A and B are shown apart, each in its own frame.
Chain A
Amino acid sequence: MRISLNWLKDYIDLPKVTAKKLAHDLTMSTVEVEAVIDQAKAYENMVVGKIKIIKSHPNADRLRIVMTEIGEEVKQIVCGGENLYEGMLVAVALPGAKVRWHGQGDLVTLEKTKIRGVESFGMICASTEIGLGDIYPNSEKEILDISFCKKKPGTPLAKALGLNDIVIEIDNKSLTNRPDLWSHQGIARELAAIYKAELKDVPRSPILTTKPNQELDIKIKSDKCRAYLGLVVNNLEIKPSPAWMQARLIAVGLRPINNIVDLTNYVMLDVGEPMHAFDYENVGNKIIVRLAKSGEILKTLDGEDRCLKSEDLIIANETKPIALAGIKGGFKSGVQADTKKVIIEAANFDSLCIRKTSARLNIRTDASMRHEKSLDLERPLLGMSRFVFLLKQIAPSVEISKMVCLGKLKTPSVSVKVSLDFINKRLGKDLTKKEVKDILARLGFKVADQGKIFNIKVPAWRATGDISIPEDIVEEVGRIYGYDNLGMQPLKYQIEKAVFQPQLIWQNKIKLFLSHSAGLNEVYSYPWADDRMLGILGINKNNLIQISNPPAANLAYLQNSLLPNLLLKIEYNNKFFPEFGLFEMANVFENSFVKKNVKQIDRLPYQSKNLLFTVVGEGNDIYFKGKGILEALFSYLKLSDWKYKENSSCKFLDQDQRSIVTGDKAIGYLGSLKKEIVDKLDLKSNKLKIVLVELNLDKLLLNFSPQLNYQLLPQFPSVVRDLAFELNKDVTWQTVYDLIVVASNLIQKVEFLSVYDLGEKKSLAVRIEYAAKDRTLTSEEVAVIEKNIIKLVEQKLKGNLRG
Chain B
Amino acid sequence: MKEKILKLKQEVLGRLESCQSLSELQEIENIFFGRKGKISSIMRGIKNLSLAEKKVFGKLANETKKELDEFLQNTKTRLLQTNKQGREEIDSTLPGQRPKIGTLHPHTQMILDLNEAFLSLGFEVYEGPEISSEAYAFDNLNFPPSHPARESMDTYWLASSENKKGKDRLCLRPHLTGGSVRYMQTHRPPYRFVYPGRVFRSEATDASHERCFYQYEALIVDREVPFSAGRVMVNTILQRVFGREIKTRMRSGFFPFVEPGFEIDMQCLVCGGKGCSVCKRTGWVEMMPGGPPHPNVLRAAGVNPKEWHGFYINIGLDRLVMMKYGIDDIRLFHLGDLRFLRQF
Chain A residues near B (Cβ < 8 Å): 24, 27-32, 34-35, 174, 176-178, 352, 355-356, 359, 425-429, 469, 471-472, 474-475, 478-479, 483-484, 486-493, 495, 498-499, 501, 504, 508, 511-512, 514-527, 545-551, 556, 558, 568-569, 572-573, 576-577, 580-582, 587, 589, 597, 599-605, 607
Contacts and interface: CB of A to CB of B under 8 A. Distances in A.
Contacts of A568: 336
B284 to A, nearest CB: 9
A230 B337 CA distance: 65
A573 B337 contact: yes
B270 interface: no
Contact of A428 (B162, B186, B227): B227
| Closest CB pairs A-B (n = 9) | A428-B226, A475-B260, A569-B336, A546-B159, A602-B167, A602-B133, A519-B100, A471-B259, A523-B336
Interface in B102-156: 102-105, 107-108, 112, 115, 119, 121-125, 127, 129-133, 135-136, 146, 148, 152, 156
A486 B231 CA distance: 11
Given A522-B102, A572-B335, A581-B102, A602 B251 contact: no
B312 interface: no
Contact of A605 (B100, B121, B131, B192): B131
B101 interface: yes
A425 B260 contact: no
Given A488-B231, A547-B157, A515 B186 contact: no
B166 to A, nearest CB: 8
Nearest to A31: B252
A488 B125 CA distance: 25
Nearest to A500: B124
B159 A548 contact: yes
B229 interface: yes
B24 interface: no
Given A474-B260, A519-B101, A522-B102, A607 B250 contact: no
B105 A551 contact: no
16 contacts: A32-B253, A428-B227, A472-B260, A499-B123, A499-B125, A501-B124, A504-B125, A516-B101, A516-B102, A519-B100, A524-B107, A549-B162, A580-B338, A602-B135, A602-B168, A604-B129
B224 A492 contact: yes
B252 A483 contact: yes
Interface of B is mostly: mixed
Interface in B218-240: 220, 222, 224-229, 231-232
A493 B172 CA distance: 34
Interface in B186-234: 186, 190, 192, 198, 200, 202, 211-212, 220, 222, 224-229, 231-232
Name the interface size band of chain B: 35 or more
A479 B260 contact: yes
B12 interface: no
A286 B231 CA distance: 59
A493 B102 contact: no
Contacts of B100: 519
A34 B286 CA distance: 12
A515 B102 contact: yes
Contacts of A556: 159
A479 B252 contact: yes
B175 interface: no
Nearest to B153: A549
A359 B156 contact: no
A433 to B, nearest CB: 20
B213 to A, nearest CB: 10
Nearest to A488: B228
Nearest to A526: B212
Contact of A174 (B254, B259, B336): B254
A157 to B, nearest CB: 26
B84 interface: no
A176 B254 CA distance: 8
B6 to A, nearest CB: 44
A489 B292 contact: no
